[in-house]
Chains A and B, each alone.
Chain A
């Protein structure tokens, strides 16, 4: 089984600063960590490999300093690590990010399963996982809290919902996003750290992944961050029902009205 775990290096939640010009996060000089949800994604990948055999590739789109996080991934059981890094990727929204990651995954020869964390603690959109699945044209399950079986090239898993869970069967190739409940990540082992120290991290730039420069970074990002604020919660709830097409149309009308 070939597994790709998408990992993002994020600023440690304690020390976040906003760049006033671009309204994006200023990552300079702030301590960086592996996105906590991605830590669970990596652990799940390593566990699946231990159970079923195969390889785990840790993949990240990020600045050069993300190499450190990828070494940490190796020390926690990833077999290989790939860093997709280029100035052209800077300022990417989730649309441009999923494009970049999809091109990278294609470049490294695809895989049976992509595992992402539920969301990044800096962006908090939770869009990259599902967006990437669309780019790769594969089924996905999000908020996975347990993988109970793998038989006949199909995963049986539990998707966490507010009031319980859904039991799903997902055939590979597939993508999943995971929640923290799924596992308890291991501490890097001594042998793991020694392996990580010597490991060769593959670095790919925009040319290596054969990406269209117009679809990358700030240039390729249709969404703009206009304002960042914590919304007030109110208890108004509205359920929209119907077929998927009907629901999407109604939702679109309501959002336009806002």
Chain B
């Protein structure tokens, strides 16, 4: 379908597509099998000038918006969601700084992220605070000219690989949700360490680790924005990054559809390619419908967000739910179309099915997303 991309946007897609075909697809199976972080590929993405699409030109970025970033992510996800996640997590880690950081903070941290020289990660989740993010227990106490951070974060994407961590901690317990703040913690800060890589069902090329803060001391100016504004910035960060997750679903769904159709055309049973049987055709048709619908939705949502509307939460949540539920269904169907071959690790679709599941879980489970949407609907109508 023609989505009327500008010439520059077409170039972004071309560069990202070539990178995916030349570097991501050939390496994805091995990186998944060995659970290795895709350092070379992230460097290649930086070399291709795609690291700072969402960062303004003032800080060395391309000056694009959510939609430009989404166009690149779609291609990477077509290659491998684990690798695409490792890349997308940098934006997630950067958004709090972009949204609420001081000019000095932006000047310090955004240029190396734009150039791909450094990586970022976003740290909110804890063992007792997943969907109930307000239940976090990591604390930040001001001691003279330093903040002292204590606590443990769980399942942090890019944990151990990132140099810049944006971390949510409680600065005033008595104020409840208004008592949390965001901080920048660097990998070299004293008192910061991380645990071993988690063993996951999918996105195995992505590094997921526990972060441990034990009397971690950071300078006073590492506070992002105002003290107590933590959750407001967190919500805006997630609103901005959800289309990125949604488009991972679109890229993944497209990849699964491509494999399923190619296979169905050449697999002959009962004297005909199986694509000539209605049962298979209808499955493929439904898959194609869902992928295209998701793509159109995410593109529209990303453009809506770039137009800077007052309220992006509902649109952002809706496209995340739709595209990620779609990706789960489409990848399962793709395995079914490839049947016995689809179950074997020699073929790429079983990995796609394993990778799809996390999309329905992270950045807010699809159940939490439905809460958000429901609450927004409640507010909209009188």
Q: Which residues of A contact B (CB under 8 A)?
A: 186-194, 197
Contact = CB atoms under 8 A, between A and B. Distances in A.
B157 to A, nearest CB: 25
B8 A187 contact: no
A190 B14 CA distance: 9
Nearest to A185: B22
Interface stretch (B46-54, B169-177, B205-213, B231-239): B46-54
What's the dominant secondary structure at chain B's contact region?
Answer: helix
Contacts of B12: 190
B23 interface: yes
A237 B199 CA distance: 58
B15 A189 contact: yes
B308 interface: no
B119 to A, nearest CB: 19
Contacts of B19: 187
A188 B7 contact: no
Contacts of B14: 193
Nearest to A193: B11
16 contacts: A187-B15, A187-B19, A187-B22, A187-B44, A187-B47, A187-B48, A188-B18, A189-B15, A189-B49, A190-B11, A190-B48, A190-B50, A190-B62, A193-B14, A194-B8, A194-B11
A23 B231 CA distance: 73
B73 to A, nearest CB: 14
A69 B102 CA distance: 45
A193 B11 CA distance: 7
Chain B interface category by residue count: 10 to 19
A187 B18 contact: yes
Interface string B299-323: 0000000000000000000000000
Contact of B47 (A189, A193, A194, A197): A189
Central interface residue in B18, B19, B49, B62, by most chain A CB within 10 Å: B49
A99 to B, nearest CB: 36
Given A190-B50, A197-B11, 6 more contacts: A186-B44, A186-B47, A187-B18, A187-B47, A193-B11, A197-B7
Contacts of A194: 8, 11
A191 B14 CA distance: 12
A193 B15 CA distance: 8
A75 B106 CA distance: 30
Central interface residue in A186, A190, A197, by most chain B CB within 10 Å: A190
Interface in B34-59: 44, 47-50
A189 B48 contact: yes
A188 B8 contact: no
Contacts of B22: 187
B98 to A, nearest CB: 20
A131 B62 CA distance: 44
Contacts of B49: 189-192
A186 B197 CA distance: 31
A191 B114 CA distance: 13
Central interface residue in B7, B15, B44, B62, by most chain A CB within 10 Å: B15
Contacts of B15: 187-190, 193
B21 to A, nearest CB: 10
Nearest to B64: A190
